[in-house]
Structure 1
Amino acid sequence: MQTKADGKKLLRGSLIAFTVLFGTTALTLPLHPAFALSELRHEQGVAQQKPAEDEKAAPVETEQDGEEASPLELPLPDPIVRKNQAVTEPADDAPAEDEPQTPVEVFYDIEKAPEPVRRMRQLIVEAAASGDIERLRPLLGKGVTQTQVSMVESEEGPVETLKGQSGDPDGIEVLAILLDVLSTGFAHVGAGTPDDMYVWPYFAEKPLASLTPPEKVDLLRLVTAGDYADMQEFGSYNFYRVGITPDGEWKFFVTGE
């Protein structure tokens, strides 16, 4: 018959065996902190998001032909002229750089000019050959039909202006130049337009670089070699020239450009 003392011994032995078994199992299991249910769900959400964030934050390395990727470039500034601003367009009447020039029509026979042009030229030649500059006065006109004799406006009359341009007080030098100019060939320019004109000397209407050797001889009958060199530097003929309209009006006798 089992006594109370035997029962106590049996219970104590069972407790000792249970304690040893549980302690051994606890030593072999990993330790984890205890979480409430809400905390456990939060930890699971963070664990799911973390790989995506890490993947997004990871730098992307690009290599081209074994070279390191260039650093990030700053954006270019906006253009000075913006799309909503007005842009100045070149004038429609601006000459094109490569626009071909119309060939100059040159004549050496005065009979090729209209009769009013021939008559006015003959009157000018006769007055200049006389040596009396006053004989030019009735040919120079008055008011709106007055012949232009200077690039600069003046209150003086045309004869007085021409005397002032001459190297002598009587204007003889200017008369001699006038005769020499009218002895050359002439050019017909602006045919059929309001600027229709017969111009002496013809090389006043031609590029200097296009002059032939005989034409250069004609030019050097009027100017010196030094004058010609200056004209080349200037870019065009800039000595005296005469213009007469088809209806016989003496339009200009000027020097310069």
Structure 2
Amino acid sequence: MHRFSARIRLLRGSVFAVSIFLAGTGTFVTTRPAFALSELQQIQRQQSQDKAVDHPPADSAAQAETPPDEGERRLQLPLPDPLIRKDAAEQQAVEPVTEKNVSEPEAPVEVLYDIDKAPAPVRRMRELIVEAAASGDMERLRPLLGKGQTQTQVSVAEGDDDPVTTLKGLSGDSEGIEILAILLDVLATGFVRVDAGTPNEMYVWPYFAEKSLDALSPPERVELLRIVTAGDFADMQEFGGYNFYRVGIAPDGQWKFFVAGD
């Protein structure tokens, strides 16, 4: 600071001495007052800006704009890295298409409500099951459940247990009335034909077993909630599919299964 003041005083003294000398020789020179260092810097900055305006760069017109002053530049926050600013949508847009990230659209499921569209043996078996379940007597299901190799699957676990006994054990009451009611509700919904034209062809109730729960229309959700509770439906959505009771009847009329689960 002392050096800076000394230089200013020296500069002013020099100017004063030159003025006296010129006055003594009869020559009059108009002198300008001395400028402080900060004023000189401002003048130099202004001259640089004027030169930039007079000779703008040819490659970019945007560079001809006057840059913000130092105070405004200090108040601006730095922009985040471009990789951080890039959102997920942009990343997905530039993601290369591969076999792993391309999924085939799910085939539409044809839901049937007209039982006449099913083969006669299927219609007959469904009718017999409905009559037996509506009677409230679980034993009336026994002749329909079959025996040996043709026995109806009533549990996800394989075994030789008596099917009627198994169904009663799954019911909330000792007589199996709850299971009979569920059986009626399931057979009252629409149905689907699966694996058509193959040895595994089957007519399945309810159609929810073969349709995405996310694709259900409001009326279809009402139909589903006639079978399960709203809490059950939420659990199924988390599970990823319908996992309550379902009925399967083969084209020849054999009652293949009445089970709960995936």
After TM superposition, list the pairs within 5 Å mapping 1:1-257 onto structure 2: 98-257=103-262
Moved more, 152-161 or 211-220: 152-161
Q: Is the Cα–Cα contact under 8 Å of residues 105 and 187 in structure 1 kept in the other structure?
A: yes
Q: TM-score, normalised by structure 2?
A: 0.60
Query: Which of structures 1 and 2 has the bigger CA Rg?
Result: 1
Q: Which structure has more helix as a fraction of its residues?
A: 2
**Equivalenced residues, count:** 163
Aligned residue number for residue 26 of structure 1:
none
Aligned equivalents of 1:147, 1:201: Cα separation in 2: 17
Aligned equivalents of 2:170, 2:159: Cα separation in 1: 13
Q: Percent identity?
A: 74
| Cα RMSD (Å) | 1.4
Which blocks of at least 5 consecutive residues in structure 2 are unaligned? 1-99
Aligned equivalents of 2:116, 2:232: Cα separation in 1: 31
TM-superposed CA distance for 1:102, in Å, is: 2.5
Which blocks of at least 5 consecutive residues in structure 1 are unaligned? 1-94
Q: Is the Cα–Cα contact under 8 Å of residues 104 and 189 in structure 1 kept in the other structure?
A: no
Aligned equivalents of 1:243, 1:118: Cα separation in 2: 12
- Aligned AA (2:160): E
Counterparts in 2 of 1:248 and 1:96: CA distance versus 1, 3 Å: farther
TM-superposed CA distance for 1:96, in Å, is: 9.4
4+ runs deviating over 4 angstroms: none
**Secondary structure, counterpart of 1:170 in structure 2:** coil
- Aligned AA (2:164): V
TM-superposed CA distance for 1:105, in Å, is: 1.8
TM-superposed CA distance for 1:100, in Å, is: 3.1
Q: TM-score, normalised by structure 1?
A: 0.62
